[in-house]
C-alpha cells in the first residue's frame, strides 16, 4: 500500500479499497464488512450487527487481504488506502467453511422443530458453506435452558455464542442482564442469577439471535414463516409510532416484528408493541352491535343499533352532547368525528381524556427537534416522566446521547429507573416541578433538549409546568419536546378533535345529556375515572368500542363494535409530526366494522353532509387542516389535605389492548396496584411495607398494599394508573391511613 492516496480526488476522510476487484470509497476507520455491505458484496457473518459493537468472535467473516499471511475477520479489520480484499478466493472460502464446520459440531440437528426454521441465518449459511457430513464423532454438548420470562423462549443448546444478545442488553437496553459464563467449549449464555429479563426491549434479542436459541414464546410452535403474510403497520401504544410488520395467517395476527426506519424506531421494537396483538383476541372483544333495553343487553342488527344511536345523538344535538375520543384513534376517524360533531352543532369534542389541567388550552405539538436528533444532544432535561416506561425507544435514544457524552438532568416526583447515569436530579412533589425545573443549570450546552412527560402533562399542575418549560426553553435555547399523551394526539389535534366549547374535563364536570365515546374503556382510560363514570352513568351513551367490557356495559346504551389499528387501514401522526400509514392486517372479529365505515353509516343515518363517500379514499379525503378554537377549562385546585399524588402510567396497563395481552400481564414490570411512600411519610402514618392502606379523596377510596421507598419525594405518594384499584385516585391529594 502506497503512502500516496490511490485516488486523490476522494474527500480527506475517505480511502480507496478494492473488494473482489471492485474499487470502493470507504470512510477512514470503517471496517471491511461495512464497505462490502455498502457495495452489496455479501460476506457471511453471525456475530456482526451494524447496531452493536464489534465482537469478532464467530470468525465467519474471514476474508483474504493482500499481503496479510492469514485470513482476517472483515468485521474487525479497518480499511486502508489501496487495500485489496478477496471474499471468494480459495483461502477465504476454505476458512469460512472450516468455521462453519466448527459451529456445527455441537449444534443440534432439530431444524424441523425449531421456531427459527425458515428464517435462520445459520440454516441459510450452512447451505452455502457447510459440509454434507461431519468429521466429528464426539458427543454433542447439551446446555440447560433458562426461564427468561413470559416473552422470550430459550433453547440454549442451539446457541453459537455470537454474543449479539449480550451486547444488546448491555449497549442498547442498558440492563446488562445477559452474559457469558464459563470458558472454552463450556461457554454458555445466561442471566447469572436465573431471573427473567426485565428490560422493556427484551423481544429484540429474538431479532438479533441468528439461530433458534432465543425465540418468541408467545409465537412458539404456532406457524412457519412461509405460512405468514406481512402487513405494514404501526405501534399505537405510545406517540413514537414505531414501524412494524404484522405477520398474519388466515386473518389472525400471530406475530409482530420491527420494520426498519432509522428516523423513528431504527430496527428495534418495544415489548409493548411486539406482544400487544394478544389483546386483539380477548374474550370481551365487541363482535356484534348491542343495545340495552330495560337494563338488559341484547345483540342487535347494525340497522337497529345505528338507528338507536342516531336517535340519541339527534335528540341531544348541540350543547347537550359530548364527544370523547381516545387519543389513539386514526386521523381518518378523527376527521370524521370532527365532521360529525360539526354537523350536530356540538362544540364539546375532545381527545385529551387523560389530562386533568387544561386551563392553558394546551394541545399536543410535534417535538422541536426530530426524535433521531435527540441522540445528538449534549444536554437533556427530563421533566415529569417515567421515560423508560412511557416511550421505551425514546428512552433508548436518550441512552445513546448519554453514551456519546450528553449530561442528563432529571426533575421528577419519583426517582424513576433509567438505563443511564444522571448528572443531576431533583426529586420533588408534583406541585414543585415547575420551580425545580427553573433551577437546572445547562452551562456549556449547545444542543440541549427538554423532554416533558406524562407525569407532568396529566397532573393537576400541568399548565404551570408547561409554562415553566416554555420559559426554560426560551432562556436556555433548549428544544422543547412535550410527549403527546396518546399515539395520535398530534394528528387528532390537527384534525380538529378539539373543543370549541367544553373540553374533556369540563364535559364530565358539567355532565351532558348524552355522550359519544370513541374507542374508550371508560373505567380505566380517563384521567379521573370516578368523575367520568359518574357523568356517563347519568347520561345516554353511544359507545364505538373495541371491547364490550364491564365499564362500557355499565354506562352505554348502544355498543357499536369497531376494529383496532391492526385490523383497519388508517394513519397516525407521531411525536415528530410525521404522518404514517398502516394497512389492515388481522381480520375484524364477528360483525365488527372499521370505525370510518361506522361513522359514515351513522352520518348518513343522521342525514349530515359530507358522509356520502363509499370507500376508504373518500374517508381519507375528509382529512384537512382546521382552525379550531380551543376552550380552556378552569385550573383545578392545587391545594388539598394529605399527600400529593404522583401518578405515572403502568407500562403494560396503558390502554385496553395492552391490558388484555396475557404475556405482558405476566411480565415482571407488571407489579400490580400499590401505594409507594417515602420512609418518613410511612413512619408518620404508621405504615410499613406489605401492609394495607386506605387511600381516599373526593373521587373515591381504595385499599392498596404499601411499598416504602426513598425514591419517592417526601410528602408524596406514587401510584401507577391503568389498574381498576387505582382508577378512583386521580392526581391531586390523598388521605392515606392504615386499612
Pairing of strands 733-738, 692-696: antiparallel
In the structure, how many helices (H) and strands (E) does the chain have? 22, 32
Asked, for residue 419, whether it belongs to a domain, the answer is yes
pLDDT at 441 over 60: yes
State the residue range of the domain holding 151: 136-281
Of 50, 559, 580, 694, the closest CA to residue 331 belongs to 580
Domain finish residue from 221, 248, 281? 281
Question: Which residue's C-alpha cell is 386533568?
Answer: 356
157 versus 632: the higher-pLDDT residue is 157
563 and 458 in one domain? no
Asked, for residue 363, whether it belongs to a domain, the answer is no
In this structure, how many other beta carbons lie within 10 angstroms of the beta carbon of residue 370?
Answer: 17
Name the band, by pLDDT with cuts 50, 70 and 90, for residue 255: very high
Terminus-to-terminus CA distance in the chain, angstroms?
Answer: 80
271 and 151 in one domain? yes
275 and 143 in one domain? yes
Domain CATH for 614: 3.40.50.740
Of 433, 421, 470, the closest CA to residue 450 belongs to 470
Burial class from Cβ neighbours inside 10 Å (0-12, 13-18, 19+) for residue 234 reads buried
Average pLDDT over residues 310-319: 96
314 and 226 in one domain? no
Distance CA 24, CA 38 (A): 9
Helix axis angle, 331-343 to 595-606, nearest 10°: 10
Asked, for residue 189, whether it belongs to a domain, the answer is yes
3-state secondary structure of 208: helix
C-alpha distances (whole Å) from 19 to each of 50, 74, 343, 497, 512 are: 19, 11, 66, 57, 72
Average pLDDT over residues 339-350: 96
- pLDDT, tens only, 185-198: 889 999 988 899 99
Name the band, by pLDDT with cuts 50, 70 and 90, for residue 524: very high
Domain finish residue from 103, 126, 154? 103
Find residue 178's DSSP bridge partners.
none
Half-sphere exposure of 77 (CA within 13 A, CB side): 22
What average pLDDT does the structure give for the chain? 94
Name the band, by pLDDT with cuts 50, 70 and 90, for residue 627: low
581 and 507 in one domain? yes
Residues 6+ apart with CB under 8 A from 521: 545, 547, 549, 551, 552, 655, 656, 659
In this structure, how many other beta carbons lie within 10 angstroms of the beta carbon of residue 703?
Answer: 13
Of 709, 656, 648, the closest CA to residue 678 belongs to 709
Would you say the C-alpha torsion 654, 660, 664, 665 has a positive or negative sign? positive
185 and 97 in one domain? no
Half-sphere exposure of 541 (CA within 13 A, CB side): 28
Average pLDDT over residues 69-74: 96
Distance CA 353, CA 494 (A): 17
427 and 474 in one domain? yes
Asked, for residue 327, whether it belongs to a domain, the answer is yes
476 and 412 in one domain? yes
149 and 274 in one domain? yes
pLDDT at 3 over 70: no
- pLDDT, tens only, 527-572: 999 999 999 999 999 999 999 999 999 999 999 999 999 999 999 9
Would you say the C-alpha torsion 272, 277, 279, 280 has a positive or negative sign? positive
pLDDT at 625 over 70: no
Asked, for residue 188, whether it belongs to a domain, the answer is yes
C-alpha distances (whole Å) from 297 to each of 467, 598, 674 are: 47, 20, 34
Contact 558, 313 (CB under 8 A): no
Contact 387, 418 (CB under 8 A): yes
Asked, for residue 384, whether it belongs to a domain, the answer is yes
Contact 390, 669 (CB under 8 A): no
493 and 350 in one domain? yes
Domain finish residue from 436, 462, 482? 482
Of 351, 617, 608, the closest CA to residue 494 belongs to 351
Name the band, by pLDDT with cuts 50, 70 and 90, for residue 1: very low
Q: What is the pTM of this model?
A: 0.95
Domain CATH for 179: 3.30.70.20
Contact 269, 244 (CB under 8 A): yes
C-alpha distances (whole Å) from 136 to each of 128, 139, 142 are: 20, 9, 16
459 and 327 in one domain? no
Domain CATH for 700: 2.40.40.20
Burial 107-123, CB ≥16 within 10 A → b, else e: beeebeebbbeeebbbb
Domain CATH for 73: 3.10.20.740
Q: What's the Rg (C-alpha) of the chain?
A: 28
Return the percentage of the chain with pLDDT > 70, whole number.
Answer: 98
pLDDT at 396 over 60: yes
Average pLDDT over residues 401-417: 97
Asked, for residue 616, whether it belongs to a domain, the answer is yes
Asked, for residue 114, whether it belongs to a domain, the answer is no
Min mean pLDDT across 101-110, 410-419, 457-466, 530-539 is at 101-110
Domain count, the chain: 5
pLDDT at 619 over 90: no
- pLDDT, tens only, 130-145: 888 888 888 888 999 8
Q: What is the pLDDT of residue 555?
A: 96
Contact 386, 653 (CB under 8 A): no
Helix (H) or strand (E) holding 529: helix 529-537
pLDDT at 635 over 70: no
- pLDDT, tens only, 256-282: 999 999 999 999 999 999 999 999 999
Q: What is the pLDDT of residue 491?
A: 96
Would you say the C-alpha torsion 623, 627, 633, 635 has a positive or negative sign? positive
Q: What is the pLDDT of residue 626?
A: 61
Domain CATH for 447: 3.40.228.10
148 and 79 in one domain? no
Distance CA 546, CA 657 (A): 9
Return the percentage of the chain with pLDDT > 90, whole number.
Answer: 87
Amino acid at each position: 500500500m502506497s503512502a500516496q492516496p490511490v485516488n486523490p480526488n476522494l474527500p480527506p476522510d475517505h480511502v480507496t479499497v478494492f473488494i473482489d476487484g471492485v474499487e470502493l470509497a470507504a470512510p477512514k476507520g470503517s471496517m471491511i464488512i461495512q464497505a462490502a455491505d455498502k457495495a452489496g458484496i455479501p460476506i457471511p457473518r453471525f456475530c456482526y450487527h451494524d447496531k452493536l459493537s464489534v465482537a469478532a468472535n464467530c470468525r465467519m467473516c474471514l476474508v483474504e487481504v493482500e499481503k496479510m499471511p492469514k485470513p482476517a475477520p472483515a468485521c474487525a479489520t479497518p480499511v486502508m488506502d489501496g487495500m485489496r480484499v478477496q471474499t471468494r478466493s480459495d483461502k477465504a472460502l476454505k476458512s469460512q467453511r472450516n468455521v462453519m464446520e466448527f459451529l456445527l459440531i455441537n449444534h443440534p440437528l432439530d431444524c424441523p422443530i425449531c421456531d427459527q426454521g425458515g428464517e435462520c441465518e445459520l440454516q441459510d449459511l450452512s447451505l452455502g458453506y457447510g459440509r454434507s457430513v461431519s468429521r466429528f464423532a464426539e458427543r454433542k454438548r447439551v446446555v440447560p435452558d433458562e426461564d427468561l420470562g413470559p416473552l422470550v423462549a430459550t433453547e440454549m443448546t442451539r446457541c453459537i455464542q455470537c454474543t449479539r444478545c449480550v451486547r444488546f442488553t448491555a449497549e442498547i437496553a442498558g440492563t446488562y442482564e445477559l452474559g457469558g459464563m464459563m470458558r472454552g467449549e463450556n461457554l454458555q449464555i445466561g442471566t447469572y442469577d436465573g431471573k427473567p429479563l426485565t428490560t422493556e426491549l427484551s423481544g429484540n434479542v429474538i431479532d438479533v439471535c441468528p439461530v433458534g436459541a432465543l425465540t418468541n414464546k408467545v409465537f412458539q410452535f404456532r406457524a412457519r414463516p412461509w405460512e405468514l403474510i406481512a402487513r405494514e403497520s404501526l405501534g399505537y401504544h405510545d406517540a413514537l409510532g414505531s414501524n412494524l410488520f404484522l405477520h398474519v395467517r388466515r386473518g389472525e395476527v400471530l406475530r409482530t416484528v420491527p420494520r426498519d426506519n432509522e428516523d423513528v424506531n431504527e430496527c428495534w421494537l418495544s415489548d409493548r408493541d411486539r406482544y400487544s396483538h394478544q389483546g386483539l383476541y380477548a374474550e370481551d372483544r365487541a363482535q356484534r352491535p348491542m343495545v340495552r333495553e330495560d337494563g338488559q343487553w341484547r345483540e342487535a342488527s347494525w340497522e337497529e343499533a345505528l338507528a338507536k344511536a342516531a336517535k340519541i345523538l339527534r335528540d341531544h344535538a348541540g350543547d347537550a352532547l359530548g364527544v370523547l375520543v381516545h387519543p389513539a384513534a386514526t386521523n381518518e376517524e378523527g376527521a370524521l368525528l370532527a365532521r360529525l360533531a360539526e354537523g350536530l352543532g356540538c362544540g364539546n369534542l375532545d381527545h385529551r381524556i387523560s389530562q386533568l389541567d387544561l386551563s392553558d388550552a394546551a394541545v399536543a405539538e410535534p417535538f422541536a427537534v426530530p426524535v433521531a436528533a435527540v441522540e445528538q444532544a449534549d444536554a437533556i432535561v427530563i421533566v415529569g416522566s417515567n421515560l423508560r416506561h412511557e416511550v421505551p425507544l425514546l428512552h433508548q435514544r436518550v441512552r445513546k446521547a448519554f453514551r456519546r457524552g450528553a449530561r442528563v438532568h432529571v426533575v421528577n416526583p419519583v426517582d424513576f429507573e433509567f438505563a443511564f447515569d444522571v448528572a443531576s436530579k431533583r426529586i420533588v412533589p408534583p406541585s414543585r416541578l415547575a420551580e425545580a425545573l427553573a433551577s437546572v443549570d445547562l452551562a456549556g450546552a449547545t444542543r440541549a433538549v427538554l423532554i416533558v412527560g406524562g407525569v407532568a402533562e396529566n397532573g393537576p399542575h400541568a399548565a404551570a409546568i408547561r409554562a415553566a418549560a416554555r420559559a426554560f426553553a426560551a432562556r436556555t435555547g433548549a428544544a422543547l419536546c412535550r410527549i403527546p399523551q396518546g399515539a395520535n394526539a398530534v394528528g387528532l389535534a390537527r384534525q380538529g378533535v378539539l373543543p370549541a366549547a367544553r373540553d374533556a374535563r369540563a364535559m364530565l364536570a358539567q355532565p351532558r345529556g348524552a355522550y359519544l365515546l370513541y374507542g374508550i374503556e371508560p373505567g380505566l382510560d380517563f384521567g379521573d375515572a370516578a368523575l367520568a363514570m359518574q357523568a356517563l352513568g347519568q347520561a345516554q351513551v353511544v359507545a364505538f368500542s373495541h371491547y364490550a367490557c364491564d365499564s362500557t356495559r355499565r354506562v352505554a346504551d348502544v355498543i357499536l363494535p369497531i376494529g383496532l389499528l391492526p385490523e383497519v387501514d388508517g394513519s397516525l401522526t407521531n411525536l415528530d409530526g410525521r404522518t404514517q400509514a398502516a394497512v389492515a392486517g388481522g381480520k375484524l372479529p364477528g360483525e365488527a366494522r372499521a370505525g370510518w365505515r361506522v361513522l359514515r353509516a351513522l352520518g348518513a343515518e343522521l342525514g349530515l353532509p359530507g358522509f356520502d363517500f363509499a370507500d376508504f379514499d373518500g374517508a381519507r379525503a375528509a382529512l384537512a387542516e382546521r382552525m379550531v378554537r380551543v376552550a380552556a377549562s378552569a385550573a383545578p385546585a392545587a391545594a388539598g389535605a394529605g399527600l400529593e399524588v404522583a401518578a405515572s402510567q403502568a407500562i403494560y396497563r396503558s390502554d385496553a389492548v395492552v391490558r388484555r395481552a396475557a404475556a405482558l400481564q405476566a411480565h415482571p414490570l407488571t407489579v400490580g396496584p400499590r401505594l409507594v411512600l417515602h420512609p418518613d411519610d410511612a413512619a408518620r402514618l404508621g405504615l410499613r411495607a406489605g401492609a394495607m392502606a386506605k387511600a381516599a379523596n373526593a373521587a373515591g377510596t381504595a385499599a392498596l398494599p404499601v411499598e416504602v421507598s426513598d425514591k419517592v419525594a417526601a410528602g408524596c405518594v406514587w401510584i401507577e394508573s391503568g389498574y381498576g384499584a387505582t382508577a378512583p385516585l386521580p392526581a391531586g391529594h390523598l388521605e392515606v391511613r392504615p386499612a
